Amino acid sequence: MTEGRRTSIAEMMANTKTGNELPPDKRTEQQATPKTEDDSSSRHRDQKTNRLPARPRLPQVSDAHSDFRPPQSSDPRERLTYCVDALRYANNQIEQALVWIERQWILWVAEPLRIVRDEELWRLDGYPTFDAWCQAHYGYSGDLANKQIRAKPIVEILAPYVRKQIKEYTIRPLRGVFDKHGPEKVLEVWHRAEQNGDLTEAGLKAAIVSLGLGGALGTADATVPASRQPVLRLKAGEPINQKVLTEWARAVPSNEARSAAYGILAAIGDVEQAPEIGDNPPSP
C-alpha cells in the first residue's frame, strides 16, 4: 500500500465486517454520541415550554441499504430457494412496517385533529367547515378525520397486544364498548373474538353480544339517528291502508316499526293478514 494513501470507506467496512483490526494510522475518530434524554422528561419539558416534541428519527433515503447477500451455491434449485426465502423475509419486513405506519398515523394525527375540530380553529383559516379545512390542507374529508379521532383510544389499548394491522373500520364496534365499559372490556371483547377466530367487524360485534356488553349492533355508531329514520308521508287524500304501512315498515325493518304499523292497521280494522315484512304481528 502506498505511503499516505487514505483508506477508502469500502476498505474500512470490509475490514470491520471480517473482524480485522485497522492499523492506528487508518482509524477515524468517532465523535462522542450525545446523551439522549429520557422520553418522559423530554415530553414534560416540551409541555412546560409549549413546544412541539422533537421529531422522531425516521429512516432517510441515505439510510437505505440491503441485507441481501447473493447465493453462493451454483445449483439452480438452491439459488431459487435462497431467493424465495429472501423475498419472503423482505415481504414480512414490509408488512410489519406498514402495520407500524398505519397505527402511528392514527396516533399522531388524531389529537391535533380533535383540537382543531373541537375548538373550531379551522375558522381562523377562513374555512366554513372542518371538512373543508381538512380537504384543503390534507386531501381527506372531515368524516375520515373524525373516524381517526374516534379510533385513537382503541388503537392505544390494542397496540401492545396486537401485531397485526389494526384497521379503523374493523374496530369501530369497540368504541361503543370503550365509552360505556372502559378499556378492560375492549381487551376482553378482542380476546373473545380472537378465540372465536373472527377478528372482523362482524366477529367483534358477535363477541360484544356474547359477553353481554351490547345489543346485536354492538356499537352506538350503528344506531340510525331519529332524524334519519324514514318518515311516513302521505299525499293529500291518500288512505292509510295495509300496502302503505307495509312499504313504510319495510323501510325501517325493526320491531318498533312493525308494532306501529300493526297497531295502526288494527285500529282501522284493515288487518286481514300479516304484512310479509319478516316477523309475525306482535301480540296485542
User: What are the pLDDT tens digits along the chain (284 aa)?
Assistant: 444 444 444 444 444 443 444 444 444 444 444 444 444 444 444 444 455 555 555 555 445 567 788 999 999 999 999 999 999 988 888 888 887 887 788 889 999 999 999 999 999 999 999 999 999 999 999 999 999 999 999 999 998 888 777 888 889 999 999 999 999 999 999 999 999 999 899 999 999 999 998 764 434 444 444 444 444 444 555 555 556 655 655 554 445 555 555 555 555 554 444 444 444 444 44
Burial class of residue 219 in the structure, from the number of CB atoms within 10 Å of its CB (0-12 exposed, 13-18 middle, 19+ buried): buried
Q: Cell triple for residue 7?
A: 483508506
Q: Report d(CA 143, CA 208) in Å as an integer.
A: 25
Q: Report d(CA 25, CA 7) in Å as an integer.
A: 10
- Note the Cα 225 to chain centre separation in Å: 24
Q: Report d(CA 266, CA 68) in Å as an integer.
A: 78
Contact between residue 249 and residue 277 where contact means Cβ atoms under 8 Å apart: yes
Q: Report d(CA 148, CA 154) in Å as an integer.
A: 10
Q: What pLDDT is stored for residue 154 in this prediction?
A: 93
Contact between residue 29 and residue 48 where contact means Cβ atoms under 8 Å apart: no
Three-state secondary structure of the chain: CCCCCCCCHHHHHHHHHCCCCCCHHHCCCCCCCCCCCCHHHHHHHHHHHCCCCCCCCCCCHHHCCCCCCCCCCCCHHHHHHHHHHHHHHHHHHHHHHHHHHHHHHHHHHHHHHHHHHHCCHHHHHCCCCHHHHHHHHHCCCHHHHHHHHHHHHHHHHHCCCCCCCCCCCCCHHHHHHHHHHCHHHHHHHHHHHHHCCCCCHHHHHHHHHHCCCCCCCCCHHHCCCHHHCCCCCCCCCCCCCHHHHHHHHHHCCCHHHHHHHHHHHHHCCCCCCCCCCCCCCCCC
Q: What pLDDT is stored for residue 278 in this prediction?
A: 45
Nearest CA among 58, 54, 37, 35 for reference residue 46: 54
Q: Report d(CA 255, CA 251) in Å as an integer.
A: 12
First-to-last alpha carbon distance for the chain, in angstroms, is 104
pTM of the model: 0.51
Contact between residue 107 and residue 156 where contact means Cβ atoms under 8 Å apart: yes
Burial class of residue 144 in the structure, from the number of CB atoms within 10 Å of its CB (0-12 exposed, 13-18 middle, 19+ buried): middle
- Note the Cα 74 to chain centre separation in Å: 46
Residues 6+ apart with CB under 8 A from 126: none
Q: Report d(CA 150, CA 111) in Å as an integer.
A: 10
Q: What pLDDT is stored for residue 104 in this prediction?
A: 83
